[in-house]
Structure 1
Amino acid sequence: MQRARGRAAVRFASSDRGVRLAGLHQSGAAKALLPRTHGPVPEAVFLNTAGGVTGGDVFDYRLDLDAGARCVATTQTAERVYASSGGAGRIDVRLTAGAGAVLDWLPQETILFDQAALDRTTEIDLGPDAQCLSVETLILGRAAMGETVRRLALRDRRTIRRNGRPIVAEPVALDDRILARGDAAGLAGARALATLVFVAPGAEDALGPVREDLAQATGIAAAASSWDGRLILRAMAPGGAPLRRALVRLIARLGQAGLPRVWQA
């Protein structure tokens, strides 16, 4: 069976006239769209034209912001990871933000189907005073279709560095054994998981308002903490809809330019 391959890379630079596109590469089944925006912050939208990921597929996405540049990056739609007939699909995401740059990495949900196998790495490197908002959401099957995920092999490693030093490390591993557990050590019946990370000077000041937003959210279990220029929130829910509603509100609060347009479609 033919496997899908793709690489998309975008670079933005800052100039006297604002942020400008400084580089664009696309190959295979990976594309990068640059929709027109009405504000000063550009958007980059990554797209998998293969329609999903399965065993043996390899995708590479890269976004580089030069010093002082800004960007909101997302994905065109939810990424679907289908049952694997052999081996794991691989997705590598590498994002860099130079000194004083502001990056929002807001991919839409990753939907994992029964017998899916995925190995994903997300690395974000921040320069001095750079700021980053990152959101990742995992959904186990499609609840509306009555799907149940019993077999799964997920390795999802997320790392954020400041000046080359790791400041956030978020390894996520889900397999058959964890799915079978119904207690707090497993998923406790949740079918959707989300992590939000906000790294910025003074990020601690946002903790109170974020907790107020969480107190008003319904249908989710969530907690947030903040220290030393970073805020981390983890949430889980029986389905993806309540998580998405909560994240929309949080992105509106913490993001530099609100929701990406594709999130509003």
Structure 2
Amino acid sequence: MSALEKQPDHRHWPASLHLELALRSGCTRLVRNRHLGPLRIQRPFHPEASDCAHLYVLHPPGGLVSGDDLRLTVDAGVSTRSLITTPSAGKIYHVASTGERQRQTTHITLAKGSQLEWLPQDNIVFDGALGELGLRVDLASDSRFFGWEITCLGRAAGDKPFRKGALLQRLELYRNGKPWLLERTPLRATADILNSPWGLRGQTVFATAIATLTHLGPDQQKHALELAREQLGQTCAGVTLTRELLIARLLGDDSETVRNQLIRFWWALRPLVFDRPACAPRIWAT
């Protein structure tokens, strides 16, 4: 059993949300919405001319305290089109004296011909936090995915740096049940990786964005790589194209700057990845 599949500890206030999407009369619909605890979703929106459904995941408490365990699972049915985002940043607070970790895991499954965009706002790791963040995406051979994860260590605006604590971050992509990309990033506040040239270089914000390009030919994939490098600018720590995955790494000292760079990256790449123009979620304008 993987870390993303462990059962929650019911001594605490567990929160889970299970969403199922299916194609109905040519439009993507939310056909199942099962929740436990303070993890909900607003009604789906359809702001595009296409059948794409926009969904906003809400966590009213606004952050994780000691022992909290948030679990989101999404089953995107055959030929569905969906975009999932959050209205505000997630927060991982200072742990209590018991030292119990805070966990947030997301498991997305894409069926044949489905397309999904995972575009949450950043996760802020407070000084003294002991957090675990996990994202797993299971894709069919012809499904398409674009997603990002943005992490902010400490609160620079409040002069509250990340001096103690730890974060374990996992990113897993599987295609047809086989590993496609597996990353495990353990970060301790006192570790060399935070300040070393081969690590975060003293920056407090880091992000990873991924786009699947299996449906594109070699020339189009090369064009996507060049376009990505052009869009990301100075925050870009590197863009690679490997095994038909476009992977971008960003570093910065301001989460808004990094996020805006990612939005420009997504805006430029969406027509290539999903064959439709970008349409920003309405919640981003509030």
Which range, TM-score by smaller chain? over 0.9
For the aligned residues, what is the CA RMSD? Answer: 1.8
Amino acid at match of 2:173: I
Cα distance in 2 between the residues matched to 1:249 and 1:134: 13
Distance 2:128 2:13 in 1: 18
- Give per-residue Cα distances to partners, 1:6-55, cap 9 Å, x unaligned: 11111111233321222111220111223423212101211112220022
Asked if 1:91 is matched to 2:104, the reply is: yes
Q: Which residue of 2 aligns with 1:258?
A: 279
Gaps of 5+ in 2: 1-10
1:55 to 66, 79, 97: 66
Size of the aligned set, in residue pairs, is: 261
User: Which residue of 41, 46, 57 maps to 1:37?
Assistant: 46
Query: What TM-score do you get using the length of structure 2 for normalisation?
Result: 0.86
Name 2:13's counterpart in structure 1. Answer: 4
Contact 1:197 1:230 in 2 (8 A): yes
Of all paired residues, the percent bearing the same amino acid is 27
Gaps of 5+ in 1: none
Instruction: Give the Cα separation in 1 of the matches to 2:193 and 2:207.
Output: 20
Q: 1:111 to 1:179 in 2, by over 3 A?
A: farther
TM-score normalised by L of structure 1: 0.92
Corresponding residue to 1:120 among 110, 130, 133: 133
Q: Which residue of 2 aligns with 1:199?
A: 212
Show the counterpart of 1:171: 184
Q: Does 1:77 align with 2:88?
A: yes
State the partner residue of 1:17. Answer: 26
Cα distance, 1:181 vs structure 2 = 5.1
In structure 2, the residue matched to 1:243 is 258
Please, which of 74, 79, 87 is the counterpart of residue 68 of structure 1? 79
Q: How do residues 207-222 of structure 1 correspond to structure 2 at under 5 angstroms? A: 207-214=225-232, 217-218=233-234, 220-222=235-237
Of 135, 156, 169, which aligns to 1:143?
Answer: 156
Give 2:175's aligned amino acid: R
Residues 179-194 of structure 1 aligned to structure 2 (within 5 Å): 182-194=195-207
Q: Secondary structure at the match of 1:177?
A: coil
Distance in 1 of aligned mates of 2:130 and 2:120: 19
**Misfit runs of 4+, over 6 Å:** none
CA distance in 2, matches of 1:139, 1:227: 26
1:153 Cα deviation from its structure 2 partner: 1.3
Q: Does residue 245 of structure 2 align to residue 227 of structure 1?
A: no
Equivalent residue of 1:244, what SS? helix
Aligned to 2:7: none
Q: Alpha-carbon deviations, 1:194-251, whole Å to 9, x = none?
A: 000111322554111111112xx34x24210113321001010122122112111011
CA contact (8 A) 2:83 2:118 kept: yes
Once residues 116 and 204 of structure 1 are traced to their aligned partners in structure 2, the CA distance between those partners, rounded to angstroms, is 40
For the 8 Å contact 2:83–2:119, the answer to whether it is kept is yes
